[in-house]
Amino acid sequence: MLLIYNIFAIKIFFFEAQSKLLVLGPQPYLRSRMKGKLLFAMVGMLWSTFAWAQKAQLQAVYTHESLVIDGKLNEGIWQQAPRVTDFTQRELVLGQPVTERTEVAVVYDDDKLYVAVWCYDREPNKLIARELRRDFNFGLDDNFMLILDTYRDQRNGFMFVTNPVGARADLQVFNNGGSSNAFWNGVWDVKTTITAEGWFAEFEIPFYTLKYRPGAENQTWGINFERNIRRKREQARWQGWSRDHSFQQVNLAGELTGLFALSQKQFVEIKPYAIGGGEVTPGQTRPTGNLGGDINYLLSPTYRLNLTFNTDFAQVEADQQQVNITRFPLFFPELREFFLEGDDFFNFGFGGNRIIPFYTRRIGLDANREAVPIIAGARLLGKEDNRTLGLMTLQTAANGTDPTTNYTTASWRQDVGKQSIIGAMTTNKITADRWHSTTGINGRYSTSRFLGNKNLDVGGALLNSYNSDDGFNPAATAYRVFVSYPNDKFTLFASAQRGPREFEPEVGLMLRRSFREQFFDIGFRPRPQGKLRWIRQFDFRPARITNTQYDDNGQIQSFNYAMQYFGFDTRSGETFNVAHEIVAEGLRAPFAIAPGVVIPAGTYWWRQNTARAATFRGRKLAFDGRISWGEFYSGTSIQSQSELIWRSSRYFGISLRYERNVVELPYGRFNTDLVGSRVTYAVNPNLFGSLLGQWNSAQNEVNMNFRLQFIPRIGTDFFFIVNQVWDTQTGQVDPKRGTILGKLIWRWVV
């Protein structure tokens, strides 16, 4: 069909050209019409070619050879396997070949997938690789990334990343890059070597780490690769290198073929844990210990059942503290791996941050962020055909006046078309004498082919909360709709949502109540040429408007108009922007913003200015600073945040963070300070840790969290954790409470 179309277009063009030449002669025609017709014909042929072209392919090769995973790539199979070499720059020079040659090959055996990477570099002494720890910040180092769309549904994927010294990071990708879970930890390994020719990597990924369609004799997966050379700020991909598209958009990936008769084995993974240590408070020391664990049963390559007993999260890093000078609650992200692993399966698709219908920190944590024992639970996650299903149930122990409680959540999502979805979900909180549920539906139309190759998302969600005390109330219904045009040069986002007074998701988080809100954001980000080429991209945002009203009478609850009238980032990685804001807050009741400082009820309007400057974070020494100044309610404020990062080597790094608010109001003056420091250290990719220290003047506490992780073998972990809190209320540093714990998580596969 493509060939017929192109031949037909060429014949029409030359037939018309010949007739015009006979009548008019060559010169007038060539000047006035021939160039336009030729261009039209060429564009038509190119469009048809791209529209019908087959995906680029890489063939995987089956091997009986036993591979030694060492990053040396000296086995015979690596010399025989087909390689991809045609990488294209996305940054800094769009569409150009890479400046350093990159090659990739894939082989597999009965149990594992292996990926070999040749990252040639003429100046290997200039490689940037200052991270060794698991789940390292790969945005700072030279790296190589691969993504696998094992379902070939062009929506979901598994992403694996390494750097020249063999650090590992992984994440699950959902909704064609619309969301991801960076806390997913698959069982896989990678080894690297550095030579005079560059750096080289060898990935080993067991099939049971992945999920894929069962039963097919011949599998085709989506696959893509990206290489980043930080000193050049060069980013290159095999496929999907348009600046409008992210690496996580798996619909643009190439194809991995040659996967025959993949393992359909069922397996049971047993991960018991043992924990021991002590808790110290003034005048008292008591030992602590616990046992529990998880059982993971791979029902099929598609579905995984997880059982958990006496669930424990002692190894989770402490929350990063925040200072709040607003009248709305703070949001603290989930850090517990058990809940993060299935994060997207239990996402209502509501979006935004005003209403979070399912907030997993309501489970196993009380209002003071202290642990509530989880007796046991079960979780089933998987995808079959075009349906994604999730089921989770957990039982918590009685805690103080709170009775033992069951939390059960179920979700269903159906793929529609190439990239769109519809879905439904319910979250339930059940005690002996009461039942609460939050139930809703959602949908999203997505395409990366809007106006040719642009991204467009349109979606929404509808939710209702119910409890057995009051029965069904149709007024307890919230909604949100949005449209998003997230592309490189122009960006546009608009949404509308409502959270009425009657809507109360008890296993969720309401950052605002009884409100209606409209949001609009537009951005223009051109890339200069000529004398300004040292600027990679400008960033102008003429309008970012948030208009929030009280739901009952439509009066102002909050209003913010922000205009970023100048911003840019350079080719070397520095960033600068300045903005102006018009802000309003409508207070129905007096607001105690600080001890002894109360703002009376009323509507307040003010203006503020903001400036931010940051150096490239991939440098050995980096800085990021932000300051806002101007009016604040009926007074003034200066709010500043700064961070200094020093990565001395791959073994050691330190960051210093400081936030300060200086507020002067007719009702009083106050300051707040937040000081934090994080030290990261690593001996090798399997032995690393961190030390986090924080002081918050609003809470008058110093918090210290020390964490050491050792991975004796992939899938098995040992943690050593020290937590200490000191009270500074009296002006002195007095011990308040502390814990010292050791935790071993072992792994067997049956």
Angle subtended at Cα 564 by Cα 560 and Cα 566, rounded to the nearest 5 degrees? 165
Contact 175, 344 (CB under 8 A): yes
Structural domain contains residue 333: yes
Same domain assignment for residues 428 and 521: no
In 454-539, where do the E strands start and end? 454-467, 477-486, 490-499, 509-510, 515-524, 535-538
pLDDT in tens, 613-658: 999 988 999 999 999 999 999 999 999 999 999 999 999 999 999 9
Query: What whole-number distance in Å separates Cα of residue 89 and Cα of residue 554?
Result: 51
Q: Side chain identity at 179, as an amino acid letter?
A: S
264-288 mean pLDDT = 87
Which of 745, 27, 620, 639 is closest to 315 using CA atoms?
745
595-599 mean pLDDT = 93
Task: Determine the pLDDT at residue 529.
Answer: 84
Q: Is the dihedral of CA 337, 338, 341, 346 positive or negative?
A: negative
Contact 113, 187 (CB under 8 A): no
Q: Is the dihedral of CA 125, 128, 133, 134 positive or negative?
A: negative
DSSP string of 642-666? EEEEEEEETTEEEEEEEEEEEEEET
Q: Identify the bridge partners of residue 172 per DSSP, sorted by sequence position.
A: 158, 181
Which of 2, 45, 3, 36 is closest to 17 using CA atoms?
36
Contact 331, 353 (CB under 8 A): yes
Q: How confident is the model at residue 216 (pLDDT cuts 50, 70, 90)?
A: low
Instruction: Show the tokens assigned to 742.
Output: 């050791």
Structural domain contains residue 77: yes
Task: Determine the pLDDT at residue 329.
Answer: 82
Task: Determine the pLDDT at residue 322.
Answer: 84
51: part of which helix (H) or strand (E)?
A: helix 35-52
Based on the number of CB atoms within 10 Å of its own CB, is 217 exposed (0-12), middle (13-18) or buried (19 or more)? exposed
Q: Is the pLDDT of residue 465 over 90?
A: yes
Same domain assignment for residues 547 and 641: yes
| DSSP state letter for 137 | -
Structural domain contains residue 277: no
Which of 539, 537, 540, 541 is closest to 570 using CA atoms?
537
pTM here? 0.83
Same domain assignment for residues 17 and 62: no
Q: Side chain identity at 116, as an amino acid letter?
A: A
DSSP string of 537-559? EE-EEEEEEEEEEETTT--EEEE
Same domain assignment for residues 430 and 365: yes
Of 461, 478, 511, the residue at which a domain comes to its end is 511
Based on the number of CB atoms within 10 Å of its own CB, is 455 exposed (0-12), middle (13-18) or buried (19 or more)? buried
Q: Is the pLDDT of residue 210 over 70?
A: yes
Same domain assignment for residues 555 and 636: yes
254-283 mean pLDDT = 88
Quick one: the chain helix, strand, coil %, rounded to 5? 10, 55, 35
Same domain assignment for residues 156 and 194: yes
Contact 419, 397 (CB under 8 A): no
116-130, 197-211, 332-346: which range is least confident on average?
332-346
Contact 318, 705 (CB under 8 A): yes
Structural domain contains residue 299: no
Task: Determine the pLDDT at residue 54.
Answer: 65
Alpha carbon of residue 460 to chain centroid: 20
Query: What whole-number distance in Å separates Cα of residue 319 and Cα of residue 544?
Result: 30
DSSP string of 294-341? EEEEE-SSSEEEEEEEEE--TTSPPPPP----SSS--------HHHHH
CA atoms within 13 A on the CB side of 714: 14
Number of H helices, E strands in the chain: 5, 44
Of 210, 235, 260, the residue at which a domain comes to its end is 260
Q: Which residue has the tokens 């002067």?
A: 664
Which of 338, 350, 499, 355 is closest to 407 using CA atoms?
338
Q: Is the dihedral of CA 713, 714, 715, 717 positive or negative?
A: positive
Give phi and psi for 679, each to the nearest 5.
-110, 125
CA atoms within 13 A on the CB side of 102: 24
Q: Side chain identity at 538, as an amino acid letter?
A: F
Same domain assignment for residues 77 and 30: no
Structural domain contains residue 285: no
Backbone φ/ψ region at 122: left (φ over 0), alpha (ψ -120 to 50), beta: alpha
In this structure, how many other beta carbons lie within 10 angstroms of the beta carbon of residue 702?
19
196-210, 377-391, 607-621: which range is least confident on average?
377-391
Give the CA diameter of the chain. Answer: 107
Which of 485 and 174 is assigned the larger pLDDT? 485
Same domain assignment for residues 569 and 450: no
Structural domain contains residue 42: yes
Contact 289, 275 (CB under 8 A): yes
Q: Which residue has the tokens 């001996």?
A: 683
Give the C-alpha distances (Å, rounded to integers) separating 154 from 221, 386, 679, 690.
10, 11, 39, 37
Of 215, 233, 260, the residue at which a domain comes to its end is 260
pLDDT in tens, 478-518: 999 999 999 999 999 999 999 999 999 999 988 899 999 99
Alpha carbon of residue 390 to chain centroid: 20
pLDDT in tens, 347-359: 887 877 789 899 8
Query: What whole-number distance in Å separates Cα of residue 466 and Cα of residue 602?
Result: 34
390-418 mean pLDDT = 92
pLDDT in tens, 434-458: 999 999 999 999 998 898 889 999 9
Task: Determine the pLDDT at residue 50.
Answer: 41
In sequence order, the 6+-apart residues with CB closer than 8 A to the CB of 41 are: 9, 10, 12, 13
Task: Determine the pLDDT at residue 208.
Answer: 86
Q: Is the pLDDT of residue 685 over 50?
A: yes
Which of 738, 714, 713 is closest to 727 using CA atoms?
738
Contact 229, 100 (CB under 8 A): yes
pLDDT in tens, 45-98: 333 334 334 689 999 999 998 899 999 999 999 999 999 999 999 999 999 999
Q: Identify the bridge partners of residue 113 per DSSP, sorted by sequence position.
A: 108, 205
Q: What is the C-alpha end-to-end distance of the chain, expressed in Å?
A: 52
Q: How confident is the model at residue 165 (pLDDT cuts 50, 70, 90)?
A: very high
- What's the whole-number average pLDDT of the chain? 88
CATH at residue 255: 2.60.40.1190
Q: Is the dihedral of CA 116, 117, 118, 122 positive or negative?
A: negative
- Domain range enclosing 591: 514-698
Query: What whole-number distance in Å separates Cα of residue 699 and Cα of residue 728?
Result: 9
Q: Is the pLDDT of residue 2 over 60?
A: no
Same domain assignment for residues 166 and 42: no
In this structure, how many other beta carbons lie within 10 angstroms of the beta carbon of residue 241?
20
Same domain assignment for residues 477 and 617: no
Contact 51, 249 (CB under 8 A): no
Percent of the chain predicted with pLDDT > 90: 65
Highest mean pLDDT among 7-16, 367-376, 545-554: 545-554
Can you list the alpha helix ranges (DSSP code H) found in 428-467?
Answer: none
Structural domain contains residue 224: yes
Same domain assignment for residues 176 and 244: yes
Backbone φ/ψ region at 417: left (φ over 0), alpha (ψ -120 to 50), beta: left
Structural domain contains residue 324: no
Total domains in the fold of the chain? 4
| DSSP state letter for 252 | G
Same domain assignment for residues 475 and 404: yes
Sheet strand arrangement including 198-206: 61-62, 102-108, 112-120, 198-206, 189-195
Give the C-alpha distances (Å, rounded to integers) separating 209 from 218, 339, 549.
19, 18, 47
Task: Determine the pLDDT at residue 715.
Answer: 87
